Every structure is written in structure tokens, then in C-alpha cells.
Structure 1
Amino acid sequence: MGRILAVCASPARGTEKRRVGAGRFTPEWGLVGDAHGGDWHRQVSLLSAEKIKAFNARGAGVEYGAFGENLVVEGVDLRALPVGTRMRCGQVLLELTQIGKECHSHCAIHQRMGECIMPREGVFARVVEGGDLAEGDVLTVEPRFGGRPYRAAVITLSDQGAAGRREDRSGPAIAARLEASGYEIIERLLLPDGLEPLRGQLIRLCDQRQPDLILTTGGTGFSPRDVTPEATLAVAERQAPGIAEAIRAHSLSITPRAMLSRGVSVLRGGTLIVNLPGSVKAVEESLDCFLEVLPHGLEVLRGEAVDCGMSRMEG
């Protein structure tokens, strides 16, 4: 349980947020009157008051709102909450959608202090239920809830596709299969082949947006530009080789060329990453192999089920 110390807004992008005392929050926008709202996942930004206090103890002298936060919350370590956490404040229900953010340009705070805590400590939320919220209101973190949809991101790797010279058919095919199985698609990306673009996006997605699943398509062959497995292994914290092995075994029953696929499957934090081949046909065959089995693994990864070979009593 925490308390709202400040409600802040800025009338135009590129301007510092100022305390407004109270505001109306809507699912269509976020904080009404704040220029950074909109129909997207980062409607409302939040920062823990304790992190601001510690930063100011170093001589920063930063006022509430200066980091770009809409809400300053006392008594809750927002950075420690997982994506998907819901927070109730009166009529307003917020759902955490992202942890931290990329900093593309250094703000005045960073230039003066050598760092800014918002990229590391700030969190973002969308408005699930709207209403009025004011300074002094109590904010309650709701218990983790099971049964929520699995969240997934789909990444297509293709030099030709990223350059607009070839239609991406595999990415949409994956997204359609996932949506038909009840998954929520939070992002779809089309990237050129290469190590760094994919590595950077995998880190951002896993660490900030925390989907349950990321499926990549393309870049798993023998071409010098096919480095999807290497980029995936570069961000891995744990191995989950059985899925990639099962895909190859299943595909080998259809074509001997399946032995040439180098796709891997790994874990980073609470996210499973699986490399799929590039063609629509091979993508569909791969999904046929593992999609029905996947929910149990994702439940275990979420901590909502016991591990595969263990009884509930043993867990």
C-alpha cells in the first residue's frame, strides 16, 4: 500500500511536468491534459518517492515532475513490481506495462548530475478503469492474478523485408496463430538481419515489457547474415533447448533440410524466446509442433504451476 504524493502533467511535449494536484484518468488517454497520453501502453508514468528522495540527497534538488513522471508514489518500490501488476487508487485501476525506458538524449538532470533515475527506476502503466485521482489518495497493489492472457511479441528478421522490398508474411502468420490461441500480441517488429538490432530489441522487450513469449522468424540458416541464434544466445540467462530440438525433429519428418535450421530456444527473466524458420510453411509446421504444449511451460515460468516432472506435493 502506498500514497500519491504528486500528480504531474505537461501541456506540451518537450516541456517539464508540473504538479497539478489532481486529475482525471481515462482508458482512452491516461491523464487528461497531459501531452504524453494517448492510446498506447505508456499512458501513465510513475516514480517512487523514495528514489527521488535518495537522488536529491546527492544534491540534485529536483522537484516532483522533473523526471517526466505523472505520479509520485510513496511506500511502494514500483521498480520491483512485475509487468502485469495492477494498482488500485480509488476509481482508477492501473496496469503496469513497462519497467524503465530507453534514454535517447540526455536531459538537463543527466547533464547536471551525470545520470537520470527515470530510465532505470521509472515505470509505465495503462488505465484499465478510469476516474479521478488526487494527491494524498491511497494506492493499493492488487494480488497477482492467474488466468490473465499470455503476452507475446513477434519479431521478423529480413533484410529485404526491413527495406520494404519483400512482404512479411511469416510475422503476421505467427501473430494470427497466437491470437487464435488466446495470446495478447504486445509488439510486432520487422528488423534487418544482423546481431545488434535483434540483441537490443530482445533485451528491451524482456527487461522492460516482460512478455511471456517472444517468437522470432528468419535468420536461422547458413547465410553469413543469418545470426538470429547468436543474437538470442547473447541475451540468454538459461537454456531451454527442448523446444528447438522438438521443432527440428518434427520438421525432419517433413523434409531432410530441417537439419540445416540453427534455431535455438532460451529464457531471459520470465520470457521464453524461440527462433522459428523464415518461411510461412515452416513457421506453421513449427507452431503445430509446440504451441499446444507451451502453456504449461509458461505457467511454470510465471510461478503459477509446478514444474513438469514434479507433483504438486513435491513442489
Structure 2
Amino acid sequence: MNQKKGVIRGICISPRRGTAKYPVETAKIVPDWGIEEDAHGGKWHRQISLLALEKIEAFREKGADVDFGAFGENLIVEGFDLRNVPVDSEIRIRDAVRLKVTQIGKECHSHCAIYQRMGDCIMPREGIFAEVLTGGMIRVGDCVEVVMPQEDRPYSVAVITLSDKAFAGERDDLSGPAIEKILKDSEEKDHIRFNIKETILLPDGEEGLKKQLIRLADQRQVDLILTTGGTGFAPRDMTPEATIAVCDRMANGIADAIRNYSMTITDRAMFSRAVSGMRKKTLIINLPGSPKAVTEALEYILPKLPHGLDVLRGNVQECGRK
């Protein structure tokens, strides 16, 4: 088990969002919430934020006079580069508190006071975020240990539906829930475990989808993104274009296999423009838009996906799970 060790050099909280965090010597970590009395706690995946002391000190060397908490960070850790700690790693504090890394970096929606003053802020690219698995008391000076993810953990998935009408509330999204059901049933049916991290409903078009694909692959580091909709001939069907734009490499054997299989059911499958590809270690697959077609396509490819996902993860063995 690959492990890294460090020390907590600062703990910061703030009672209200949008206000600067201030240092404290001790804090109570609450399971599935975050730090007690910190405004960013809650039932979501960014319960606690962490930043490396080394990154703060390097920023100070540029002439920035910044205190602990100025970047909105909860925990300042010395001893390793947090930016290189992958999602699904565990951060253990004093062998009692356990955090699970859920996101690397974040999008900066509005430039903070530090950015306005320095023209830069390190939190969006250097900060990491975690949810609380096990709570307890922590204090400055506590030892921190990072345990890298297990190879046999469930595959993390995001599901994105593209539909102008569903986004506008003019009809229900049936394809996204169909994908969720198949994934949830896969452990019993195919002995494959999936962990659905996010489900997203977007209008058709390219820019919004590109933004989400980049975020999910780079920050959430999900293993698999499944899109449904937007692969036909309509003017706003731009799912393939968005996918191609963000991928480092294409894997269109998957899209071709879906088309070939679907042609045995309906010859209208020839009008699908779906593609598949990879961004870093995330596999992106375009699925059809109708609930019937998406179910047929996903049930066909799902038992075969573990091999490719394992190779992308960098597992030593390049074979699917039994």
C-alpha cells in the first residue's frame, strides 16, 4: 500500500461563506459534514479543503503577504504535494480521522482579493477537496498520512443527459435514470461495481458539455463519463463535437461497436454520430438519446468495459475483472 506522510501546520475555519477563514489550534471533524463551525461543511463532496504549506510559502516568496486561511483552505499540510494526490485516496489524521479525496483543484467563478492584488491565486490549481469518512478532534502538529486508492475500488462514473426539452422542464429525462439503473444493477448482474458520482442535465450544445467533461475528468477524475443525447443530425446535436474537442485520444472502437450492434435492431442506427475517447485517465462514451436505445447500447458494452477502465487506471494486470 503506497503511503505518504506529513504534518498539519494550520487549521482554518469561517462561520460564513464569502468571509476569510481564520486559524484555530484545534477543530472537530464531523462525519459526512466537514469541520464543525465552518461554513463549507455540508452534504456534498467538498466538505474540507486542503492546501500544501510548500505552495503557500512559494507564493509568499513572490511578495504576497498572505495568512493561513487567505485562500479559503481548511487544512494546511506540510510534507507532500497535495496536487499529486489522486481522487479516492484517503487522508488519515492521527489514525482516527479519515478523509476521502473527491476533487483536485476547482473552477474560479470570481477572482478573489488575492487574485486582484497579485494577479494569481493558487487555490484553484493547487487545492484539493475531501469528504469526511470518520470524524474526531484534530490539532495543529498532528501527523497526516495519505493512502493511495485501492486498485479494486468501484469504477467512478458521471452521467450527463443532453436535452433542450428536458432541461427546460418540458419533458422528463428518462435516459439518464435508465443509465443509473443499469449501473446500479451491474454488481448483481455482471459483478461490476460502479459508484455514480454525479448526474447532470444540460441543454444541447457544445460549450456547456465541454466545460463539464473537462471538470469531471480533470478535477473529479472519474473513471467513466456516459453521455446520452445530442448525437443525431439536428442543428443543436453537438455532443460528438464537444467530446472530440476535450479528448486527448479517441477510442471509437467502442462507438463503432455500439453502432454495429444497434444496426441489428434498427437501421436508423446509421444516423448516430456518437464517438468515444479518453481525456487523461477518463473514458468518455456517447450513448443514444432514447431510453430504449441507451439501454440496449449500455447493456451490450457494459460487461466488456472493465478491461479498458483497468488499463486506463494503470493497473499492473491488463485484463478485465472476473
Q: Which runs of 5+ in 2 are unaligned?
A: 187-192
1:49 to 48, 53, 71: 53
Give 1:118's aligned residue: 123
Q: Which runs of 5+ in 1 are unaligned?
A: 310-315
Counterparts of 1:219 and 1:89, CA distance in 2: 45
**Does 2:33 match 1:10?**
no
Alignment map for 1:96-115 (pairs within 5 Å): 96-115=101-120
Give 1:300's aligned residue: 311
Give 1:66's aligned residue: 70
User: Is the CA contact 1:296–1:305 (under 8 Å) kept in the aligned structure 2?
Assistant: no
| Secondary structure at the counterpart of residue 136 of structure 1 | coil
User: Is the CA contact 1:246–1:289 (under 8 Å) kept in the aligned structure 2?
Assistant: no
Give 1:159's aligned residue: 164
Number of residues of Structure 1 aligned to a counterpart in Structure 2: 309
Note the C-alpha offset of 1:305.
Answer: 4.5
Note the C-alpha offset of 1:257.
Answer: 0.8
| Secondary structure at the counterpart of residue 281 of structure 1 | helix
Counterparts of 1:290 and 1:46, CA distance in 2: 38
- Aligned-partner residue type, residue 24 of structure 1: K
**Does 2:213 match 1:209?**
no
Note the C-alpha offset of 1:308.
Answer: 5.6
| Secondary structure at the counterpart of residue 297 of structure 1 | helix
Counterparts of 1:180 and 1:33, CA distance in 2: 39
The alignment's C-alpha RMSD in Å is 1.2
Give 1:176's aligned residue: 181
Alignment map for 1:195-234 (pairs within 5 Å): 195-234=206-245
Counterparts of 2:104 and 2:32, CA distance in 1: 21
| Secondary structure at the counterpart of residue 219 of structure 2 | helix
1:139 to 137, 141, 144: 144
Q: Provide Cα deviations, 1:174-224, integer angstroms capped at 9, x if missing partner.
A: 011112223111111110111100001100111000111000000000111
Q: Could you tell me the percent identity over the aligned residues?
A: 61
| Secondary structure at the counterpart of residue 292 of structure 1 | helix
Counterparts of 2:185 and 2:66, CA distance in 1: 48
Note the C-alpha offset of 1:110.
Answer: 0.5
Counterparts of 1:12 and 1:260, CA distance in 2: 52
User: Is the CA contact 2:88–2:148 (under 8 Å) kept in the aligned structure 1?
Assistant: no
User: Is the CA contact 2:151–2:315 (under 8 Å) kept in the aligned structure 1?
Assistant: yes
- Aligned-partner residue type, residue 126 of structure 2: E
Q: Provide Cα deviations, 1:94-133, integer angstroms capped at 9, x if missing partner.
A: 1110011111111110000001110111100011111111
Note the C-alpha offset of 1:22.
Answer: 1.2
The TM-score with structure 2 as length reference comes to 0.94
Q: Provide Cα deviations, 1:232-287, integer angstroms capped at 9, x if missing partner.
A: 00000011111101100100000111111010010001110000010000001101
1:36 to 22, 37, 40: 40
- Aligned-partner residue type, residue 105 of structure 2: G
Runs of 4+ in structure 1 deviating by more than 6 angstroms, as ranges, are: none
Note the C-alpha offset of 1:29.
Answer: 1.2
Q: Provide Cα deviations, 1:52-108, integer angstroms capped at 9, x if missing partner.
A: 000010111100111000000001100011111111111111111001111111111
**Does 2:301 match 1:290?**
yes
Give 1:80's aligned residue: 84
Counterparts of 2:12 and 2:273, CA distance in 1: 49
| Secondary structure at the counterpart of residue 55 of structure 1 | helix
1:266 to 265, 271, 277: 277
- Aligned-partner residue type, residue 103 of structure 1: C
